[in-house]
Amino acid sequence: MTEKSLSTDQDDDDILLEQLLEAIESDSSRSLVELLDPLSLIDALRIILLLKLEEIERVLSLLPPEFAARLVNEAPTELAADLVERLDIETAAGIIDELGSDIQADVIADLEDRDGEAILAEMDQDNAEEVRKLLSYDSDTAGGLMSADAFSFLESDSVGEVLRRLASDDEDFERFRGQHPYILDSAGRPLGVVSLRNLLTAKRNARLPEIMVKPLTVSTDATIGDLQDIFDRHPFLGLPVVESDGKLVGTVSRHALDEAVLHRTEAQSLARQGVIGDELRSMPVFIRSRRRLVWLSANIGLNIIAASVIAAYEQTLAAVIAIAIFLPMVSDMSGCSGNQAVAVSMRELSLGLAKPVDAFRIWIKEISVGLINGLVLGLLIGLVAWIWKGNPYLGLVIGLALAINTLIAVSIGGVVPLMLKRFGQDPAVASGPLLTTITDIAGFFLVLSLAAAFMPLLK
């Protein structure tokens, strides 16, 4: 994008912001809708977030609930909850009532308990009960990912009755967005599923059991891994979710699963960089600062430990100053090898291909790779050190230190995520800092201790 186009975009944003402020000052809901409706939802949300907090609150209060709900639905869950939390209870309840039941539960779950209960008390009673039910499930299960809405009919219904209902003006059917109808018995248990094609081609007086096929259901406690396995094997857009008694309680869509997997991947990636939670720059400065400091302040202590190793070998460094040049190279290269092992372990954990009980097997496999890579990398960096400084013993010290530290790094990277999982800790958050600290300390110690042992040959 050219500098001119960037300038034009900025001018357009400034003009739109001025118009939004004028609409806010005049309390004109109609003007706000006219300004925001032509934009895509994500662009409208971006523009709104450029306003001050009290102005954002005013915009959401003035917009019709269904329009505001579309904007809230576009935002990440934590941001959506933050936006809703700033509104008065009646306005917040009106907006959340317009969301799908799964999104309602996600937003309410991110609110303070008192605020969530106050909003639920103001919501439509049926919607509120659905949300409370969804909140009772673990967020990483089919129950936590499902929508309480299900496209269902009774086994006593005929094809003609279903088609008449589909052709009616009942807006409720819009919520189902391509779901196939599920056929239930009198107790609410799914007996079958009917394709829309079969509905259109069957005789109008045919009963639904005549054209249905047996459905594949999942329990409310099915994990994300279980759902991925099923959706990988079958081209379904959604699956019916049942309780332990077999009653249909909702549907989990392929889209909801993909969103959950993406969110988990993003959270793990952010956690490895020391960013806790769904941070966005629209959030309050002190909250963002506090979250980052949790990791950064802990890192100070870890770096002090690493620095103390260097301080213990101060005389060795002073005698052979070239060693200082290679210290960061050894720790960094080992850290890269360890991060590769972490990435593979995290992937196998997420796919269900590895469990904590497999730690020894995984360690053996990582040692095999680490031994080869360590020797190759050690040889390369050792030759560089030898050629550069003309001392083969310096090359031996640096190369041997890197080879050993690579073995340590891949061992930690391969096994630590499984051990953390075993003790109920988040592998994505803790593996990175542990790996970095240990490879730094081990790398510094190996280089400096080997240098001290070879000191007469290095001078």
300, 421: one domain: yes
End-to-end CA distance of the chain: 56
pLDDT exceeding 70 applies to what percent of the chain? 84
Tell me phi and psi for residue 213, to 5 degrees.
Answer: -120, 160
- For residue 82, give the CATH number of its domain: 1.25.60.10
Looking at 240, 269, 298, which one is the last position of a domain? Answer: 269
Higher pLDDT: 168 or 404? It is: 404
Residue type, 387: I
The model's pLDDT over 254-287, given as tens digits with 9 standing for 90+, comes to 888 888 887 776 666 655 555 555 555 556 666 6
234, 311: one domain: no
Q: Which of the residue ranges 58-67, 300-309, 347-356, 440-449 would you say has the lowest mean pLDDT?
A: 300-309
What's residue 59's pLDDT? 93
- Antiparallel, parallel or unpaired: β 218-219 and 190-193: unpaired
Q: Is the dihedral of CA 225, 227, 228, 229 positive or negative?
A: positive
Q: Is residue 219 part of a domain?
A: yes
- For residue 366, give the CATH number of its domain: 1.10.357.20
129, 245: one domain: no
pLDDT at 138 over 70: yes
50, 115: one domain: yes
Q: Is residue 223 part of a domain?
A: yes
129, 156: one domain: no
299, 254: one domain: no
Q: Is residue 48 part of a domain?
A: yes
Q: Which of the residue ranges 197-201, 240-244, 246-250 would you say has the lowest mean pLDDT?
A: 197-201
256, 309: one domain: no
Helix (H/G/I), strand (E/B), else coil: 194: coil
431, 382: one domain: yes
Q: Is residue 400 part of a domain?
A: yes
**278-285, long-range: CB < 8 A, 24+ apart:** 278/76, 278/77, 278/78, 278/79, 280/76, 280/78, 280/79, 282/49, 282/79, 283/78, 283/79, 283/82
225, 115: one domain: no
Which residue has tokens 């990483």?
Answer: 140
Looking at 82, 102, 136, which one is the last position of a domain? Answer: 136
Q: Is residue 279 part of a domain?
A: no
Give DSSP secondary structure letters for 161-189: HHHHHHTS--GGGGGGTTPPPEEE-TTS-
300, 419: one domain: yes
Looking at 209, 242, 269, which one is the last position of a domain? Answer: 269
pTM: 0.58
pLDDT at 376 over 60: yes
Degrees, nearest 5: CA angle 254-260-261: 90
User: Domain range holding 202?
Assistant: 152-269
Q: Is residue 289 part of a domain?
A: yes
- For residue 209, give the CATH number of its domain: 3.10.580.10
46, 113: one domain: yes
Q: How many domains does the chain have?
A: 3
315, 224: one domain: no
